[in-house]
Structure 1
């Protein structure tokens, strides 16, 4: 039996424009709320909600400087359309891991 590989404890550094410094904490807090919504939607097999959240993350992530969130959201949106619960779970875990490890440096 193999032990699943845990996410690396290393930080993920993201460089963000200082003009966004006031709104980034709220953006990230909302992604934390999305995690709970995703877990609830997965349990209920609510693929419509999952698709909407994925679409929103895909569209918003890059605009705030978080391309990884956009990538996760895009994959999640497609997975929701296919009703691919394992893929949705993987992306939910990826989002949780990213949020736990992200380290922001504000610079122009």
Structure 2
């Protein structure tokens, strides 16, 4: 990112990780009542935004969550949410 210095970029990445962590926490706390469409949207959104912030792992997990939600595969969704949580914690 040529328009930002290293400190600004690191701050933006940290804000993104914090925001995504909060979204994930909310989803996991309410997983029994979350609609598959909401899970698909979450996956789709982080699939697009993860790469913008330099987090290819988030992009990959987002794509997997989106796909699992489209197939209404709750076990796969849980697995990918757990893996995403581990990754996000490693960045905090």
CA distance in 2, matches of 1:78, 1:95: 15
Given that 1:58 and 1:73 are in contact with CA atoms closer than 8 Å, whether structure 2 keeps it comes out as yes
Q: Gaps (5+ residues) in structure 2?
A: none
After TM superposition, what 4+ stretches of structure 1 lie above 6 angstroms from structure 2? none
Say which structure is richer in strand.
1
Q: Gaps (5+ residues) in structure 1?
A: 1-16, 104-108
Q: 1:68 aligns with which of 18, 40, 57?
A: 57
**Secondary structure of residue in 2 paired with 1:21:** helix
TM-score with structure 2 setting the length: 0.84
TM-score with structure 1 setting the length: 0.73
The corresponding residue for 1:6 is none
The corresponding residue for 1:38 is 27
Alignment coverage as a number of residue pairs: 87
Compare relative contact order (CA 8 Å, sep 6+) and give the higher one, 1 or 2.
1
Structure of higher CA gyration radius: 1
Aligned in 2, Cα 1:51/1:41: closer, same or farther, shift over 3 Å?
farther
Mapping of residues 1-108 of structure 1, within 5 Å: 18=6, 20-102=9-91
CA distance in 1, matches of 2:69, 2:49: 18
Say which structure is richer in helix.
2
